[in-house]
Structure 1
């Protein structure tokens, strides 16, 4: 071969040799031992890191190692050998540990302090504190504001010991820290002090007694619920029911509603609702209406007794369709007692219910409402319904409406086949 041919062959071989060398270098770089050594170096750098910039450099190194680890074709462990090592899993675990150490070594930062203060502000403002707990809350907040004054030379004073004002003070403190441009390297000691005391503030707030820490009896006692009882009567069981009876006699609805909302007792709820039914006070509307929405019959009865038209929309849903006949009957009665003209059509729609008891209740409800638009559908019931009980209810309802037209309809039924219908018709005559 000529020299020219030799040189050409050497030139052709050179790229192949370079590619083989690059491949060998990459294989060496991505071996388990090499990756492990790189993690050793990163760990040493992490231990020597003194600034955030040093930590950023370590994090970048860990990211590079993680990418190479994912690209490496490391040998798989022998599935038949339970003690066989898994190089990839061991390297991943070590990488994760170094990341945890990196996170632990970072900071603290001003934003960490801000986050704790924001949580504390929410706790102070949103929690109902007891009389014993409130002074502890005030002391905890004032203590932290003192730390803020010492570390950042900023004085913040709450306008009062009210929880809203204390919360506002902590919100101002968070804004001061956020706007202070504290450097995690240069101001590390200041940030650490602010964070340590903010966490101490949180601990103090958790230790302060709040309303929910009290038992039901303690809560009611703190609100003076038992004050209406003589000292000897407070020992009678159950004292709570005795107090409710006294409040009913006094016509005091608010403490009875408070007891209803506080006690988790079927016995107390049943008896308190009976008291509220007897009282029929509009002051109980919200609490009773809330319970009625669960389709409980007793609250529905009370809504009828109260007579507030705000309940009608809820009650209309209870008679829409063929639901529980017992609930429909109670609801129809309540709608009649409330007497809203908006209920005429929804109630009249139940005159064709499958249950004769529901049809009868619907007819009587229309009589209680007393709207003249009900005369025609009641007349149709009187003429066509197969159940005499329903026809008698329709006749009663027409008497209740009492207009000349309504009473005129009844004149044709004074000799009706059903005695109850006769009786109502003769009343009209």
Structure 2
């Protein structure tokens, strides 16, 4: 339908017979040429549009939108809306009173009408072959991304089969895979999607085919929704299906999940511990799962457990950080070094220092030494932990900052921790530095000196 886009001429109240004759001749000429005369009935807009004329114009467009049957009809309506927007831009309309929230806003009201009509055009368009392709691809994604139960897999396969049968009747495609592998079903849906795209279906000429295909994809989607997923099962059913309880014979601890957890820990079944941690949402079981990994230490370190703990550590989970230390997880060093200067969170610092020490993180020596310095903002109760971490790491670069702390720090706890750390490093230089404090007034410091002296004597005896 080819709607006219010319503007109304402003009427002066006089009818010119010549003009009427001219119009009639033009219509006759158009008929003789086999052309449509629908354009004569199309709405037009005056050169100087008013609120009233614009609303009348939009009323006419709305009627044409209601009658539109093809994409071409909708294109014409869109073109008329373009004219309406242009006319609105040029129209001299009253502005609303800014001080009156209830004041009329003719321009805003007309803009809203045009916007609503635009949406009406879009809603009326299609459906298109692309919509079918999108629906098929969405179903394929659901099929691939969902964890199905055994029954659910069969139901999903049946839903795909029914769709494939319908699709083969509507377009030129042959895709009927066996049920043994979901990947085959996914590939089959991909084949149908490609066939639909290649068919280049026209929204008007192939409307019935597109509608039938969309009805089939709706049925496919409903079938997949009805098929049983793992998430539909109760947690204990999921665990049972995945063999979590298979380790149980006679058990005395309740809940039974805890009994199974203990057995999996004893057998080193890290994957089952992680399964329980992911499936069981109680704080009780979460704590016991994490404690199991903590006790297992390096035995509990797998790619999966490391990924889980690192994720928690990145959220400053102190228990997870502690477990990473027991695992000696070097992969955690980069994350943990960032927490060394967390002066506002002393508890996080303490667990981080210890974990870095247990890992033996050489990259943490300088950051830890910085926190050991009395001029740092680190709490006096935290700085001894920095010293002990340096001792656990055992890097000789820490000797000088530890010696300075032993000699100058005002806190006996820090000094004693520095002495302990130097003994852990254990070189003759480190031991001799500590041994010098045998007459120290502080008992805890002199105790470290006496132990260092004994170590030196033992070394001399074996030399």
Report the TM-score, using the length of structure 2 for normalisation.
Answer: 0.76
Among residues 257, 263, 276, which one is paired with 1:246 in the alignment?
263
| 1:351 paired to 2:372 | yes
The alpha carbon displacement at 1:134 in A equals 1.2
Structure holding more helix per residue? 1
Decide which moves more: 261-270 or 330-339: 261-270
Q: What does residue 411 of structure 1 align with?
A: 435
Q: Give me the whole-angstrom Cα distance separating, in 2, the residues matched to 1:425 and 1:237.
A: 51
Deviation by residue 1:137-191 (Cα, 9 ceiling, x = unmatched): 2112222222222111210244765344433322222121111122233322222
Q: What does residue 398 of structure 1 align with?
A: 422
**Superposed counterparts of 1:206-355, under 5 Å:** 206-230=225-249, 237-280=254-297, 281-283=300-302, 284-352=305-373, 353=376, 354-355=378-379
**Superposed counterparts of 1:7-406, under 5 Å:** 21=12, 26=46, 32=52, 36=56, 39=59, 43=63, 46-47=66-67, 49-61=68-80, 63-64=82-83, 68=87, 103=122, 105-158=124-177, 161-230=180-249, 237-280=254-297, 281-283=300-302, 284-352=305-373, 353=376, 354-406=378-430
Q: Give me the whole-angstrom Cα distance separating, in 2, the residues matched to 1:300 and 1:45.
A: 64
The alpha carbon displacement at 1:383 in A equals 0.7
Q: Secondary structure at the match of 2:150?
A: coil
Q: Give me the whole-angstrom Cα distance separating, in 1, the residues matched to 2:10 and 2:76.
A: 31
Q: Give me the whole-angstrom Cα distance separating, in 2, the residues matched to 1:427 and 1:109.
A: 85
Q: Give me the whole-angstrom Cα distance separating, in 1, the residues matched to 2:203 and 2:322.
A: 66
Give the conservation status (yes or no) of the 8 Å contact 2:54–2:84: no
Mark the CA change 1:273 to 1:103 in structure 2 (over 3 Å): closer, same or farther.
Answer: closer
Q: Where does the alignment leave 5 or more consecutive residues of structure 1 unmatched?
A: 1-17, 78-84
Deviation by residue 1:265-306 (Cα, 9 ceiling, x = unmatched): 222222221111111121232222221222222112111111
Q: Give me the whole-angstrom Cα distance separating, in 2, the residues matched to 1:144 and 1:334.
A: 56
Q: Give me the whole-angstrom Cα distance separating, in 1, the residues matched to 2:366 and 2:164.
A: 64
Q: Give me the whole-angstrom Cα distance separating, in 2, the residues matched to 1:350 and 1:95.
A: 66
Q: Give me the whole-angstrom Cα distance separating, in 2, the residues matched to 1:316 and 1:194.
A: 57
Among residues 449, 458, 462, which one is paired with 1:425 in the alignment?
449
Q: Secondary structure at the match of 2:382?
A: helix
The alpha carbon displacement at 1:232 in A equals 7.3
Mark the CA change 1:368 to 1:54 in structure 2 (over 3 Å): closer, same or farther.
Answer: closer
How many residues are aligned here?
402
Report the TM-score, using the length of structure 1 for normalisation.
Answer: 0.81
Q: Give me the whole-angstrom Cα distance separating, in 2, the residues matched to 1:76 and 1:343.
A: 68
